[in-house]
Structure 1
């Protein structure tokens, strides 16, 4: 790694300019103080006096010499400061070079010494740029790639295999070094430290064991794209002031982002969560992208808030996922997503446009008590298990056209401003008792394979209200077979 020339000492081309600037500053200060004294003495008028005598002339000369001496002292202070600064940088360069050399050693103990030396250098760095340089070296060590597996072709030799095994053993022996770097970074960022002003580049980094980044503060964001977390990854209650990038990262153990705060954008596109993933209670003030992410374990987003666009398009969920009580203030995109097991989105508030087009739910799905305040697109969806929209409120257009409900579906006490259920296939029995249709709603072309109830078991107050949706009654005023409608709709 090429090292910057930090210890060059004084630069003769800049020193005269600094001295002149210091003189100008000192002269300006003297003038301002004189003006303040004149103002404090009620601005006395200047009156020409008698001719200056020898005593007065000597006093003026002494004052002039004092001013000159003061300016000379100022110049000496500037020169001394520059010399001290140059010496500090020279010493920093020597320590930095030694620490980097230790970090690159094959001996674990020596490498650990280099890690701690760089950490202390960053603590004592005289400038933010030098501190960032130390941090960059520590991050770069985590980006050292694992040895590539030898080719499985016939030309593989014993020599190739032996070299690979040696490289792998060396890499594994440095696991403690990588773990120590992660621990040092987390400790510095968890406390009040100038490290929080640094930017951390963990592009393609490899974290062997558990990583505890809980409660840390990233003031300048960070880059974890392509990183691998082999153990537990804990970012709970962490704060990210700027954009944080996890694109393409892989989490193999439990992942925790509970109550984390994201003031900037969050990018988790293409990320894979092999274990459980929890974002419960997290707040996303910037846009949040989970596009094409893979959740192979159970996941939880309950009580989270999304202030800007939330992109979950194309996600794949292998186990149960929960979005209970989540607030989406802006657009929410779940197009082409696939949920293999149960999905619980009850009590959600979708304030912006919401899109679930072409999404599929393999097991039971819950949207009860959810509010859709803007248009919601639920076209061409597949609901394979029991589906619940009880007490849901649709404040604008709700498009279910072309969707398929394989099992039973329940819309009890739901409110529709404008509903579109054209060509929907209801495989199980559909329940719409006590629901209300205040605007134009259409079930034209829909098929109720097991019937539908728009009237509940207890007659008082259980009938669906509002105007009769289109497609439920034929020209003769008859409902489809197995579809129970309120009497006033068939009159």
Structure 2
């Protein structure tokens, strides 16, 4: 369906007037302009007094006529230019139709490969679709190829931890499928590393990982600068998923309702400088999520309503210098949330109405030199190693009962 829509859009893009109408209008305009030039010249030379008191000779009049017809000739050249432009547009439209038809044929073959029983054939289909996305004649067709790759990741998937250890056949099938899935993730990551103006960049495309189970792979060094990337309801439950050094500078990246239950998800050294990254209502119940040495300098990072009930979430030596990081109404009931050595020098970090009922939230060695860190209306036990009144740094607000 998306292919058909894209092809219809391509046809709608070529809207040209009938050539007969264009020529008639051009000739009419030429005659009008020629008449205007002639009359203007007549008036300027005082030719209206020709009978009473001649002021110009026949040669001058003849030159004036030649000038008028020169204007007509110029209009004719304009008509030729219009016709040539129209021919070029028609040729371009034909070339686009041919390219789209070839793309559709290759797309069909690649999707068939992706559905094959053999993992090797499926890997070939993955690479074929990625190549098709790079060669797509329109952005819509590129998005279609990427949609199929993301849809493959959303298919039902049983992680290794749920398999019987003695079921060799199931283990082999799992490893084959895992290889295909990780190849898709790697290809998407590689295309997000390209500069936005690179011909093979996928920046700004919609990436839908809704409900995907991640048991490895990653987006290290990727740049999320536009479009929307959905990890809504995704599960990070095994191995390591890597966002090390990733840059979030303009896209909306949505981890809303995601579950971090056993994997190591690593945002070490990541930069959050624009756009929105949303961990709202996410659950951190096991494993490690590492934001160590990350930089929060712009945009919005939301943990609103998130639950920290197990595992470790590390913001050690992270820098909060701008933008907003919002932990409002989050629940800290278990595990460890670590802000050791973090620097708060600008922007807003909001813990208002957060609940601290268990686990350990630690600010040892943290520096508060600017911006706002607000624990107003927070409930429960005071996080450890926060400064004590009355020597609170400017911008740091604690709950009244702390």
Coarse TM-score class (shorter-chain normalised):
0.7 to 0.9
Deviations 1:212-244 (A, max 9, x none): 423433422411112223321222332221321
1:325 aligns with 2:343: yes
Deviations 1:78-104 (A, max 9, x none): 221211111111111111111111112
Q: Distance in 1 between matches of 2:98 and 2:271?
A: 43
Q: Distance in 1 between matches of 2:265 and 2:107?
A: 35
Q: Distance in 1 between matches of 2:86 and 2:105?
A: 29
Q: Distance in 1 between matches of 2:3 and 2:98?
A: 17
Indicate the residue corresponding to 1:235 in structure 2.
243
How do residues 359-398 of structure 1 correspond to structure 2 at under 5 angstroms? 359-360=380-381, 365-368=384-387, 391-393=391-393
SS in 1 for 2:232: coil
Contact 1:189 1:217 in 2 (8 A): yes
SS in 2 for 1:17: coil
Q: Distance in 1 between matches of 2:241 and 2:170?
A: 27
1:137 aligns with 2:155: no
Q: Distance in 2 between matches of 1:110 and 1:195?
A: 24
Superposition RMSD in Å: 4.4
SS in 1 for 2:331: coil
Q: Distance in 1 between matches of 2:266 and 2:20?
A: 54
The higher radius of gyration belongs to 1
Higher relative contact order (CA 8 A, sep 6+): 2
1:338 aligns with 2:357: yes
Q: Distance in 2 between matches of 1:77 and 1:239?
A: 42
Q: Distance in 1 between matches of 2:10 and 2:386?
A: 70
The structure that is helix-richer by fraction is 2
Indicate the residue corresponding to 1:73 in structure 2.
84
Deviations 1:181-218 (A, max 9, x none): 11101111112243112121111122332324234334
The structure that is strand-richer by fraction is 2
What displacement does 1:110 show? 1.1
Residue 22 and residue 328 in structure 1: after superposition, are their counterparts in 2 closer, same or farther (change >3 A)? farther
Select the residue among 171, 175, 180 that pairs with 2:178.
175
Indicate the residue corresponding to 1:455 in structure 2.
none
Contact 2:273 2:323 in 1 (8 A): no
SS in 2 for 1:315: strand
Indicate the residue corresponding to 2:52 in structure 1.
none
Residue 143 and residue 89 in structure 1: after superposition, are their counterparts in 2 closer, same or farther (change >3 A)? same
1:347 aligns with 2:370: no
TM-score (norm 2): 0.72
Q: Distance in 1 between matches of 2:43 and 2:332?
A: 83
Residue 101 and residue 335 in structure 1: after superposition, are their counterparts in 2 closer, same or farther (change >3 A)? same
Select the residue among 78, 83, 91 that pairs with 2:94.
83
Contact 2:295 2:319 in 1 (8 A): yes
Select the residue among 223, 233, 237 that pairs with 1:226.
233
Q: Distance in 2 between matches of 1:124 and 1:275?
A: 40
Select the residue among 166, 188, 193 that pairs with 1:190.
193
Structure 2 unpaired stretches of 5+ = 48-59
1:109 aligns with 2:111: no
TM-score (norm 1): 0.60
Indicate the residue corresponding to 1:246 in structure 2.
255
Indicate the residue corresponding to 2:53 in structure 1.
none
Contact 2:372 2:395 in 1 (8 A): no
